Amino acid sequence: MAADIQFNVDAALAKLEALAVAHGPQAVETAAQVAQVNAINTLSGIPGYGLLAAVAAFGAHWCYRRMIAKDEDGYTDTDQVFWVIPAGLSAVGSFVLLCAAVTALFDVWAWVALFNPKLALAHAILAKFAGL
């Protein structure tokens, strides 16, 4: 019984080795291309985040201007106090989107994967084995 299991394991490993030898280079190239596409995906989000952050900042500015607007007598209307919440939410949203854009911009491994995908692939494999 134990000899049969050992024989089956050895046969499976032999088949796996034959597949790795036959298709190994193609698999590495494909994995490198996938790493490069993932890097392009990560870095292509930066303009979108920046645009959304700009729109949110403009919304915060517009709400703030509505909030501090004065009527003909120079007094602030009590209804304009309620513009504090949209102005604050827009400002916080703008900050969060800006942080997302900066995080994507300074992702070192995304830039490495863009220009040297095999190195980024090796890093990803070593990080998986190291448990990082």
**Does residue 81 sit within a domain?**
yes
Residue 110, domain extent: 30-130
**Does residue 91 sit within a domain?**
yes
pTM value is 0.61
**Does residue 4 sit within a domain?**
no
Q: Can you give the pLDDT at residue 31?
A: 81
Reading the chain (132 residues) residue by residue, the pLDDT tens digits are 555 555 666 776 677 667 667 777 787 788 888 888 888 888 888 888 888 888 999 988 888 887 777 666 666 666 666 778 888 888 898 999 899 888 888 989 889 988 988 888 888 888 888 776
**How many folded domains does the chain comprise?**
1
Give the Cα-Cα-Cα angle 126, 127, 129 (nearest 5 degrees): 65
Name, in order, each residue with C-beta under 8 angstroms of 49's C-beta and a sequence gap of 6 or more: 97, 98, 100, 101, 104
Distance CA 99, CA 25 (A): 39
The first and second tokens of residue 55, run together, are: 């729109």
State the DSSP string of 5-27: HHHHHHHHHHHHHHHHHHHHHHH
**Does residue 101 sit within a domain?**
yes
